[in-house]
Amino acid sequence: MEIQVALDQGYLPEKFARLATARLSGQPIVSFPIQLAKLPKQTQALAITLIDYDAVPRTGFPFIHWLAVDLPVMTEITTDFSRHYTGAQGRNSWVSRFYDVDEVLTTGFAGPNPPDKPHRYTLTVYALKQVTGLATGFFYNDLRDALVSKVLDQATVVIPVKN
């Protein structure tokens, strides 16, 4: 399984991050396109995680930017997929009691917007042999439990983002 995200001079295009025009509580909300290849033939659904581990020194925890499950099998997850997807999306780190943001921002894609320096965002896509059955609003630990024995393959790519 392979993932590809188009970069601009080695970074995520700034229209999905620092220069995003669509924002909620100051954060980018348009998800970037993701190309997928070599999915296992038995794939019945996909799952996505987008996590910023470079946030740990600033926040004290890896920052979850996007969790989505039970996506239909596809070779391209299109631009702005998150806002149009009617399937299950999980809670991101904006749900934390440490933040005061619009409730809508806490579920689905909350884009990269590093505050202090360039960060590396870890995108993982999972090919699943069956759907998870999770409902919108699930947490990362729920996803981890739901993935047990359902993952056929997975691929990870690190996406650098300018501050």
Which tens digit of pLDDT belongs to each residue from 104-159?
888 999 999 998 899 999 999 999 999 999 999 999 999 999 999 999 999 999 99
pTM for the predicted model, two decimal places: 0.95
The answer to whether residues 110 and 85 touch, using CB atoms and an 8 Å cutoff, is no
Q: Average pLDDT in the 18-34 region?
A: 95
β-sheet bridge partners, residue 11? 8
Residue 155's CB: how many other CB atoms inside 10 A? 17
The alpha helices in the chain, defined as continuous H runs, are 56-59, 81-84, 140-147
| The domain defined by 2-161 carries CATH number 3.90.280.10 | yes
